[in-house]
Amino acid sequence: MKKMQFYLSGFLALQLVLAAGLFWREHRQQELQQQSEPLLALQPEQLQRLEISSDDNSVTLQKNDGGWQLPELHSLPVDAAKLDGLLDKLAEMRSGWPVATTSSARERFEVAEEKFQKRLRLYSDGEVAAEFFIGTSPGFRRVHLRRAGDDAIYAVELNSYEMPAKGDDWLDKKLLAAGEPESISGPDYQLRKVDGEWQFAEAEGELDADKARELANALSGLRIQKPAEEVPEAEPLQIQVTANGGEFSYQFLHADDKYFVRRSDREQLFELSRYSYERIADLRRPQLVRKSEEEGKPQQTAEGSKEQKEAAKS
């Protein structure tokens, strides 16, 4: 009996220890949540400038009256959705419990002044309002981060690729997209949309509606890659587009296995993919004309027809 009482007392003591441990853990977590603070102590709308640096690249994003631009890249517009996503994540970061605080950990996690994967400087009122060193990743969608002047290193929900250090990666790739086209004039065709359906502007020939929609979608979803370094010596192909966003004249060029496009409201020439070029610039009227079922069938040679007849007789 005494032995049983001893075991029961020990079991009860173990339960009390476990309960105390769970209580302490929950209490500690609540304290940390109460003590944690935003790592970025200002609102995104207060920011006027961002500088992102890596070992071999750097980029500046500047806020102007017309929105965010890339001053080192012809002052072209920034991809607003991409920037908003980054700023939202920065605003959500909180201090919590640091994973390390030593100087050796700075080197190990690559968040030191001399050794970092990315450095992010945010400006407000012409001065540096916050500076972060971004380092290694402790897990999926997380990085080690340290604020300049702070020993604490945190693991936060962020991806290093969300803050590229090259201007081309921040460029609004839909800059030359046409919106919703209402009429399209190419080298040998004129298309217009009537009551929501595409047709040839002239009466001759029946339009392949699927091909017309593909062309309109290619123009409305046109994506550039980067500004062209130089203007090639090539004859441009003209495409006129009237859309809900206005009237535009496009110039498409092809030279040295590269493809380019320019729009009438911007002087800058841009590179684009071969796929995007071919969907628009290689299209001609014969490809837009709807083919009859007979035209769509493969033609049989006389020799082939003779073989089929003989086979049928046998």
Which pLDDT belongs to residue 23? 43
Per residue in 261-312, pLDDT (tens digit) is: 999 999 999 999 999 999 999 999 999 998 865 455 555 544 454 555 454 4
Residue 138: DSSP 8-state:
S
Per residue in 205-246, pLDDT (tens digit) is: 799 999 999 999 999 999 999 999 999 999 999 999 999 878
- Decide if 245 contacts 178 (C-beta within 8 A): yes
Of the listed ranges 15-29, 35-49, 180-194, 251-265, the one predicted with least confidence: 15-29
- Decide if 236 contacts 252 (C-beta within 8 A): yes
Residue 37 in tokens: 């603070």
- Sorted by sequence, the CB contacts under 8 Å of residue 23 that are 6+ apart come out as none
- Decide if 232 contacts 260 (C-beta within 8 A): yes
- In DSSP notation, 43-63 reads -GGG--EEEEE-SS-EEEEEE
Domains defined along the chain, listed by start: 44-170 (no CATH), 181-290 (2.60.40)
Exposure letters 86-110 (e unless 16+ CB within 10 A, then b): bbebbeebebbeeebeeeebbebbb
Helix axes 274-281, 209-220, angle to 10 degrees: 130
Residue 3 has pLDDT above 70, yes or no: no
Per residue in 61-83, pLDDT (tens digit) is: 999 987 999 999 999 999 999 99
Please report, for residues 1, 2, 15, 168, the alpha-carbon distance to residue 9 in angstroms, rounded to integers and kept in the order given: 12, 10, 10, 70
Q: Of 230, 258, 85, 76, nearest to 167 (Cα)?
A: 76
Q: Of 167, 162, 161, 91, nearest to 122 (Cα)?
A: 91
Residue 44 has pLDDT above 90, yes or no: no
Please report, for residues 96, 142, 150, 305, the alpha-carbon distance to residue 111 in angstroms, rounded to integers and kept in the order given: 18, 14, 11, 76
Which pLDDT belongs to residue 16? 55
Which pLDDT belongs to residue 12? 58
- In the three-class reduction of DSSP (H, G, I as helix; E, B as strand; rest coil), residue 248 is classed as strand
Q: Amino acid identity of 117?
A: Q
Biggest CA-to-CA distance, the chain: 108
Distance CA 167, CA 164 (A): 8
Q: Of 173, 269, 194, 195, nearest to 230 (Cα)?
A: 269
Residue 297 in tokens: 């069938």
Contacts 24+ apart (CB under 8 A), 179-182: 179/220, 179/243, 179/244, 179/245, 179/246, 180/216, 180/220, 180/243, 180/244, 180/245, 181/216, 181/219, 181/220, 181/241, 181/242, 181/243, 182/242, 182/243, 182/244
Please tell me the pTM assigned to this model: 0.78
Q: Amino acid identity of 170?
A: W
**Where does 36-130 have alpha helices with state H?**
80-92, 103-108
Residue 69 in tokens: 């631009």
DSSP H or E stretch at residue 172: none
- Decide if 189 contacts 240 (C-beta within 8 A): no
Residue 115 in tokens: 């050794």
